[in-house]
Amino acid sequence: LGYFMSFGAIVGLVTNVFLVARLISFFGSNINALVGAAFCLSICYVGYSFTSTYSEIMAVSIPVGIFSTLLYTVSGALMSLVVEKGDAGTAIALSHASRSFTGIVSPIIGGKVFDEFGIDGACWFAAGCCMIAAAFASIVSRSISKENITSSSSEKKQL
C-alpha cells in the first residue's frame, strides 16, 4: 500500500509540474479540462473493475493520478478566479477544505457501496460520481458570467 501511495504521489507531482498546462491546452479551456478529466476518470474507474493483478491496478492508477490531479489543480485555480481579488485566499482555502472533506466522507461511502455491491459496484459507483461531477462542472461553468472572470486590467481570463 505504501508503494502504491508513493507511486500516486509521484504521478501527481509529475502531472502538476509537466502536464497540467499541456492538458489544459489540449482540452482548450479550464472548464473543458475539468469536464474532460472527470469523464476520463469515470472511464478509469470502470477500468479498475476489470483489473485482477497488481500490475493492472498500477497501470490504471497512472491515468487516475493524472486526471485527478488535473481536476484538483484546475478547480482550485478556477475558484480563485471567480471571486473578488481579496477573496482568492478564502476561495483556495475552501477548495482545500472541500478536498479534505471528500477524503473523509468518500472512504465511508465507498466502503458501504463495496460492502453492498462488491468491487465492481464500487468502481461503477465511482464512475457515476465522476460523470455527475462532469455534468455539474459543465452546468456551473455556463452560469458564471464572463464579467466575474476579468483581471484588474480588464483582460478576459479564459475559463
Tens of pLDDT along 15-34? 999 999 999 999 998 889 99
- pLDDT, position 109: 96
Q: For residue 41, what pLDDT band results from cuts at 50, 70 and 90?
A: very high
Instruction: Report the predicted TM-score, pTM, of the whole model to 2 decimal places.
Output: 0.81
- pLDDT, position 144: 64
Q: Which residue has the higher pLDDT, 151 or 41?
A: 41
Q: For residue 107, what pLDDT band results from cuts at 50, 70 and 90?
A: very high
Query: Residue 35 corresponds to which cell in the numbers above?
Result: 469536464
Nearest residue to 40 via CA among 133, 139, 110, 158: 133
Q: How far is CA 102 from CA 76, 97, 110, 132, 156, in A?
A: 14, 8, 11, 15, 32
| Phi/psi at 19 (5° precision) | -110, -25
